[in-house]
């Protein structure tokens, strides 16, 4: 069975400060990993994805994530956050073995303080 653990349910951070949102996963096979963002009252949209190749993945809005196979992690980072980054962030995993969809973490609410 596969699973995704987002270690923090809420992360408060001051504007222009760096942020890291943590994600660990468990899977017995190779995985594809995703970060999705949900702005207030909206659906989810893709921030970035890791399929293969370079372990450092860059996404939209200045976010990046690093795939670490030995630590089974896929942490999301941004060097300087803005008020507009306030949102719910979901880490998700797919083992590529079937059509039963993504396994999502429970989400991390990023709260930007002025």
Partner 1 sequence: EAQVTQNPRYLITVTGKKLTVTCSQNMNHEYMSWYRQDPGLGLRQIYYSMNVEVTDKGDVPEGYKVSRKEKRNFPLILESPSPNQTSLYFCASSLTYSGANVLTFGAGSRLTVL
Q: Which residues bind partner 1 (CB under 8 A)?
A: 6, 9, 31-32, 34, 36, 41-46, 49, 51, 90, 94-97, 99-102, 104-107
Least distance in angstroms from the C-beta of 15 to partner 1: 26
Shortest distance in whole angstroms from residue 101 CB to partner 1: 5
Q: How far is CA 70 from CA 30, 55, 79, 97, in A?
A: 12, 12, 24, 21
Q: For residue 20, what are the CA distances in angstroms to 6, 28, 65, 83, 113? A: 11, 26, 9, 16, 15
Min dist CB 18 to partner 1, Å, is 25
Nearer to partner 1, 30 or 80 (CB): 30
């Amino acid at each position: 069975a596969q699973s995704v653990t987002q270690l923090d349910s809420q992360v408060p951070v001051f504007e222009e400060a760096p942020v890291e949102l943590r994600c660990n996963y468990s899977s017995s096979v190779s995985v594809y990993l995703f970060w999705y963002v949900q702005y207030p009252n909206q659906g989810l949209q893709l921030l970035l994805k890791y399929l293969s190749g370079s372990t450092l993945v860059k996404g939209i809005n200045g976010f990046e994530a690093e795939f670490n196979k030995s630590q089974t992690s896929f942490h999301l980072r941004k060097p300087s956050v803005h008020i507009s980054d306030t949102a719910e962030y979901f880490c998700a995993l797919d083992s590529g073995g079937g059509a039963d969809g993504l396994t999502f973490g429970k989400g991390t609410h990023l709260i930007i303080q002025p």
